[in-house]
Amino acid sequence: MRKNIPWWLALCWLLLLCLAPAGCGGGGDGMRAPQQAPLSTQSKTDLLLAAGFKQIFPSTPELKSRLQAMPQRQVFMASNGPKVFYVYADAAGCGCLYTGTQAQYQAYQKLAAQARLAAEEITAARIDESMNMGWEEWGEAGPW
């Protein structure tokens, strides 16, 4: 069972995961339009934990089957009477679900937005690096 980790540690791991592909080269001509990649399942669960969501493991076969029947790997709102909470089911991964309050969900959204922004900045830097084609050599004839 995973322990709660500080949000800053999870964010550091997420940034490390985002930076790792930047150093891998990747090939290609660098002329493709940037695309916003969705967060991986692992980074989503790390962000959920960093935001304060709790992991709950099913203790009975009935709860395991109910976990598998839930929408998988997406955050959805649920309620128990007047109490509203947010759930992320991961039957195939950890075999657990993550639950959090409205405040924790808002913290998750903020962390996810920061992670996407970091990934976009890395993509932009990679494109900028690959587009550096020695324009100075073209002299005054260039488009500038």
- pTM value? 0.59
Any domain includes 89? yes
Helix axes 102-131, 7-22, angle to 10 degrees: 20
pLDDT tens column, 13-61: 444 444 444 444 444 444 444 444 556 666 899 999 999 999 999 999 9
Residue 84 dihedral angles phi and psi, to the nearest 5°: -105, 135
Per-residue confidence (pLDDT) for residue 138, from 0 to 100: 63
| Residue 14 included in any domain | no
Residue 26 lies in a domain: no
* Distance, CA of 43 to CA of 102 (rounded, Å): 20
Residue 44 covered by a domain: yes
More confident residue, 65 or 131: 65
Query: Does a structural domain hold residue 129?
Result: no
> How many structural domains comprise the chain?
1
Tens digits of per-residue pLDDT, 62-71? 999 999 999 9
Q: Would residue 8 count as lying in a domain?
A: no
Does residue 77 lie within any of the structural domains? yes
H/E run at residue 3:
none
pLDDT score for 123 = 79
Q: How far are the Cα atoms of 57, 86, 87 from residue 78, in angstroms, in the given order?
A: 17, 6, 7
| Average pLDDT of every residue of the chain | 76
% of the chain at pLDDT higher than 70: 59
Dig out the tokens for 46 from the structure.
């790390």
* Residue ranges making up the domain that contains 60: 39-120
Question: Looking at the predicted structure, is the pLDDT value of residue 144 above 70?
Answer: no
Task: Lowest mean pLDDT of 4-18, 45-59, 103-117, name the range.
Answer: 4-18
The dihedral through the CA atoms of 57, 62, 65, 69 has a sign that is negative
Q: Which two tokens stand for residue 118?
A: 């970091």
Q: Is residue 106 one of the residues assigned to a domain?
A: yes
